[in-house]
């Protein structure tokens, strides 16, 4: 599944396109407002990115820490939904611990989600 900048999904590999099942349109969400884009999606790994704009910066000109948290939350949720949707399940975040390694002022912020657990009630 790949989310383009306009929020549409294109199914990649054997992953379902679940966008039509969401109750809120991408454009009306935080993800759509700030421009999160899913770049790659497989059952084991997913990547996403967002272009750094003034909207995402805090007052020192650095990317706001909440941007990283929200990007990680979106990516982990979307990756899990892509895997469990066909089983009639949904996914939401349970925890989000974010560490900051270095400040970003411009360019793109990228995130990677790698599945480390696949249980019957949590993935």
Residue ranges of domains in the chain = 2-114
**Rounded Cα distance, 118 and 107, in Å:** 34
Q: Catalogue the active-site residues.
A: 73
Asked if pLDDT for residue 63 goes beyond 50, the answer is yes
List CB contacts of 117: < 8 A, sequence separation 6 or more.
Answer: 123
Over residues 18-52, the pLDDT tens digits come to: 777 788 888 899 999 999 999 999 889 999 999 99
What's the predicted TM-score (pTM) here? 0.81
Structurally, at CATH architecture level, domain 2-114 sits in Roll (3.10)
For 8-67, give the DSSP string.
-EE--TT----GGG-SS-GGGSHHHHHT-EEEEE-SSEEEEEEE--GGGB-TTSSBPHHH
**Rounded Cα distance, 25 and 3, in Å:** 12
């Amino acid at each position: 599944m790949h989310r383009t900048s306009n929020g549409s999904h294109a199914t990649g590999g054997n992953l379902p396109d679940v966008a039509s099942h969401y109750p809120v349109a991408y454009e009306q969400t935080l993800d759509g407002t700030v421009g999160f884009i899913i770049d790659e999606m497989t059952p084991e790994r997913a990547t996403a990115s967002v272009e750094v704009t003034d909207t995402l910066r805090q007052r020192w000109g650095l990317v706001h820490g909440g941007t990283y948290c929200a990007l990680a939350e979106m990516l982990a949720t979307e990756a899990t939904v892509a895997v469990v949707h066909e089983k009639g399940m949904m996914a939401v975040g349970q925890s989000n611990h974010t560490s900051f390694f270095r400040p970003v002022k411009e360019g793109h912020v990228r995130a990677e989600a790698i599945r480390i657990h696949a249980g019957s009630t949590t993935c």
